[in-house]
Amino acid sequence: MKKTLLVTGGAGFIGSHVVRLFVQKYPNYHIVNLDKLTYAGNLENLRDIEQSTNYTFVKGDIIDDQLLASIFEQYKFDGVIHLAAESHVDRSITNPLAFIETNILGTAKLLHAARKAWGQDLEGKLFYHISTDEVYGTLGETGLFEETTAYDPRSPYSASKASSDHLVRAYYHTYHFPVVISNCSNNYGANQFPEKLIPLCIHNIKNNKELPIYGDGKYTRDWLWVNDHASAIDCVFHKGVTGETYNIGGHNEWKNIDLVRLLCDIMDEKLGQTKGSAQELIRFIKDRPGHDRRYAIDASKIAKELGWKPSIQFEEGLANTIDWYLENEEWLASVTSGDYQKYYQKQYK
């Protein structure tokens, strides 16, 4: 079946994997990627598919009502997959307003534009909002986030994502607007901006720089390979039930320090270094304010109801990811020049 889909934030980390998957897997779909190209958006991420006849890039901001109205009018979208966001917790601590603007106001504007364009003709339409497990707050030593877990966001980032989730659900209840939401755990993989833990450590080990570990390093995250998140998004988009929420995760919990030690060992091997050299770069530094202790996802609903599960084990995914960063030196060099240096100095000095 032919469809025209709007993907927002498609030049970012997860968005670029979603765009590639949809462009290649569904030749009958026309994928329109709307992205502002902030520091995190990079058209290099999509070089291999940018010439595809079923792909169009539009540079723009999701808070621009006029632009939204005009692209909804021009392309007559059947669906929206909304990933555009400010996504880094540390940046949300230093500049919360950017998160409120894009994540809350931007989502509100996108909902408004879609509802206005679709009117009463909602047959076959879907507004799919991509969210995070961070909206659920923090866990103790045990327990998992379920779809029914009460929201308890603790950073400006997670509060802005929680707010956008509430708006999306409000549209479902108030206007019977066809929405679906998924909340995913931490992603890792190719094309992730090196402000996040895994690519930051890979980049620093390559450059023999210190590996900054916040607090005692025993904070726990549940890591999922980005390509598995993209396949889950494909699954929820096509099989998800309107009005429902699906948690997505890898059943793959790691304490930060254990993950970084594993990464160091794999890097030593790949770089032909003596075992233990990269671990010497580890430094425990001042903790992140409001740092959530543990995230872990119960992904049984999406497994049982939609038949999705992750495809690879963490050790394999991590080794592939390291290979990608080692093979794509130019990508890493281009995103770490200029503003990145200023950000790094300010964040870690």
Residues that bind ligand NAD (CB under 6 A): 8-9, 11-15, 35-38, 40-41, 61-63, 83-87, 102, 106, 130, 132, 161, 184, 186-187, 193
| Cβ pair 225, 309 in contact under 8 A | no
Binding to ligand TYD (CB under 6 A): which residues in 283-312?
A: 288
- Residue 157 annotated to the active site: yes
Catalytic residue among 35, 61, 86, 133: 133
User: Can you state the percent helix, strand and coil of the chain, rounding each to 5?
Assistant: 50, 20, 35
Of 186, 191, 227, 231, the one binding ligand TYD (CB under 6 A) is 186
Residues 66-105 that bind ligand TYD (CB under 6 A): 89
Residue of 134, 147, 165, 292 marked active site: 134
Binding ligand TYD by CB under 6 A: which of 172, 214, 340, 343? Answer: 214
- Please state, in angstroms and as integers, the Cα–Cα distance from residue 186 to each residue in 48, 205, 262, 294, following that order: 25, 21, 17, 11
Q: Does 12 bind ligand TYD (CB under 6 A)?
A: no
Rg of the chain over Cα atoms, rounded to whole angstroms, equals 20
Between 269 and 288, how does the x/- string for binding to ligand TYD read (CB under 6 A)?
A: -------------------x
Helices (H), 58-179: 65-75, 89-94, 96-99, 107-118, 156-175
CA quadruple 189, 194, 200, 206: dihedral, nearest 10: 90
Q: Shortest gap between Cβ of 23 and ligand TYD (angstroms)?
A: 27
**Quick check: 263 binds ligand TYD (CB under 6 A)?**
no
The token duo for 20 is 């590639």
**Does residue 205 bind ligand TYD (CB under 6 A)?**
no
Rounded least distance, CB 174 to ligand NAD, Å: 23
Q: What is the nearest approach in angstroms of ligand NAD to the Cβ of residue 272?
A: 31
Does 202 participate in binding ligand TYD (rule CB under 6 A)? no
Q: Is residue 199 a contact point for ligand TYD (CB under 6 A)?
A: no
Q: Among the candidate windows 173-181, 192-200, 272-280, 328-336, which touches ligand TYD by CB under 6 A? A: 192-200
Pick 22 or 219: Cβ nearer ligand TYD: 219
Q: How far is the CB of 340 from ligand NAD (least distance, A)?
A: 13
Kind plus residue range of the DSSP H or E element containing 130: strand 126-132
Residue with tokens 């770490």: 336
Catalytic residue among 128, 157, 171, 344: 157
User: Which is nearer to ligand NAD, 38 or 321 (by Cβ)?
Assistant: 38
| Token pair 């281009």 in the structure block, residue | 334
212 binds, among ligand TYD, ligand NAD, none (CB under 5 to 8 A by kind): ligand TYD
- Torsion sign across C-alpha atoms 210, 195, 332, 98: negative
Question: Closest separation between CB of residue 28 and ligand NAD, Å?
Answer: 25
Q: Are 203 and 287 in contact (CB under 8 A)?
A: no
**Rounded Cα distance, 294 and 145, in Å:** 10
Instruction: Give min distance, CB of 134 to ligand TYD, in A.
Output: 6
Distance CA 214, CA 232 (A): 30
118 in Cβ contact with 176 (< 8 Å): no
Cβ 145 to ligand NAD, closest distance in Å?
A: 12
Report what 213 binds from ligand NAD, ligand TYD, none; CB cut-off 5-8 Å by kind. Answer: ligand TYD
CB-based burial, 161-200: b 16+ in 10 Å, e otherwise: bbbbbebbbebbeeeebbbbbbbbbbbbbbbbbbbbbbbb
Q: Which residues pair with 131 in a beta bridge?
A: 183
- For residues 332 and 325, the answer to whether their CB atoms sit within 8 Å is yes
Task: Answer with the entry of ligand NAD, ligand TYD, none that 317 interacts with (C-beta below 5 to 8 A by kind).
Answer: none
Residues with a known catalytic role: 133-134, 157
Binding site for ligand TYD (CB under 6 A): 89, 186, 196-197, 200, 212-214, 219, 221, 256, 288
